[in-house]
Amino acid sequence: MITFQIKRPDEAIRQALVDRINSLAKPKGSLGRLESLALQIGMIQQTLHPVLSHPVNVIFAADHGIADEGVSQSPKEVTRQVIYNFLNGGSGVCFLARQHGFEMKIVDGGVDYDFPENPRIINRKIRKGTRNFLHEAAMTQEEVEKALEVGAEIVTLCHDEGCNVISFGEMGIGNTSVSSMWMSCLTGIPLIECVGAGSGLNTEGVRHKYNVLKAAQDNYKGDGSTLDILRYFGGIEMLMAVGGMLRAAELKMIILVDGFIMTNCVLAASRLYPEMLSYCIFGHCGDESGHKKLLDYLHAEPLLNLGLRLGEGSGSVCAYPIVDSAVRMINEMHTFEEEAITKYF
């Protein structure tokens, strides 16, 4: 099993960062969330002058056996169709990536389709979708280990190319069901509070989804450990994201967290290595049922609340300009001393 050496940022620089932020020519605390963001980023990078370099949005893609139970509004073939839309630059996250200067990396971790060779798709297919966890474990331990390794490998590649701020997205019909299972099993929050409409289920569809997932939860006979829950309820692309997040924290990168699915990946990653939370900036609170409850559980403070529920990393990329503003604030604002302004606090 791959392991990670993750440490919380050294606290020694904290007071110097606070003093730097408070010395900027403004009323103390008047830039609110930008100030706490600048402090967090300065702590991550251990500098009074942080920089953001080569942002990347990594999309991990895979299919899910549980989708065969009708738990999603969309059929499984939509996974591969949306990947082609990524390649054509036409998806929701694509315009945001162009707008905010993100590179996009697309990783086929387990799509139930054979893509023709394409240099813009990173082929790391472990298998063609997970097994149906209503009836059996979605993944084997070996598949879990491989997924974590692939996620770490991709982030190492991004880091070697100069990236120090990374967003994760996902594509895989059925992955809100996996997320609901992870959330309920890892937090103890009742499953009914973790199940939502996903890509657009109506009330009857949500009820059916809950009934399927409740039956799967009742069927589970594992040991209840974090790794066993991740294995049994699966999600190849989600486990790749977990591995990627853990490597990013190990490399002291800024992790931009997207919506319900990626927040559940943070939940899983933090159960394995709690220190990784210091590196996470939560982009938004989405409309998927359960997301706000999960953010509250993690004591996370999301930057945006725009009613988003697309996934793909769209919410974290959309929030990036606020992160950029925080870094510009600490680097570009003049201090009281520089401008010979009397401190007015």
User: Of 307, 182, 195, 290, whose CA–CA distance to 241 is shortest?
Assistant: 182
Are 158 and 58 a contacting pair, CB within 8 Å? yes
pLDDT tier for residue 199 given thresholds of 50, 70 and 90: confident
**pLDDT tens for each residue of 313-326:** 999 999 999 999 99
pLDDT tier for residue 127 given thresholds of 50, 70 and 90: very high
Is the domain defined by 56-321 classed in CATH 3.40.50.12280?
no
Share of the chain above pLDDT 70, in %: 100
pLDDT at 286 over 90: yes
Residue 205's SS3 state is: helix
**pLDDT tens for each residue of 15-63:** 999 999 999 999 999 999 999 999 999 999 999 999 999 999 999 999 9
1/154 Cα distance (integer angstroms): 17
pLDDT of residue 289: 85
Exposed, middle or buried by CB within 10 Å (0-12, 13-18, 19+), for 298? middle
pLDDT of residue 298: 98
284/184 Cα distance (integer angstroms): 21
pLDDT of residue 343: 85
pLDDT of residue 147: 98
pLDDT of residue 82: 97
Mean pLDDT of the residues in the chain: 97
Residue 49's SS3 state is: coil
pLDDT at 183 over 90: yes
pLDDT at 344 over 80: no
Strand locations in 144-303 (E): 165-171, 254-257, 280-282
Backbone angles phi, psi at 255, to 5 degrees: -105, 115
Exposed, middle or buried by CB within 10 Å (0-12, 13-18, 19+), for 205? middle
pLDDT at 345 over 80: no
pLDDT of residue 296: 98
**pLDDT tens for each residue of 11-24:** 999 999 999 999 99
Pairing of strands 280-282, 56-62: unpaired
328/338 Cα distance (integer angstroms): 17
**pLDDT tens for each residue of 169-179:** 999 999 999 99
Residue boundaries of the structural domains of the chain: 56-321
**pLDDT tens for each residue of 241-267:** 999 999 999 999 999 999 999 999 999
pLDDT of residue 243: 98
Catalytic member of 103, 149, 312, 338: 312
Active site residue 312: yes
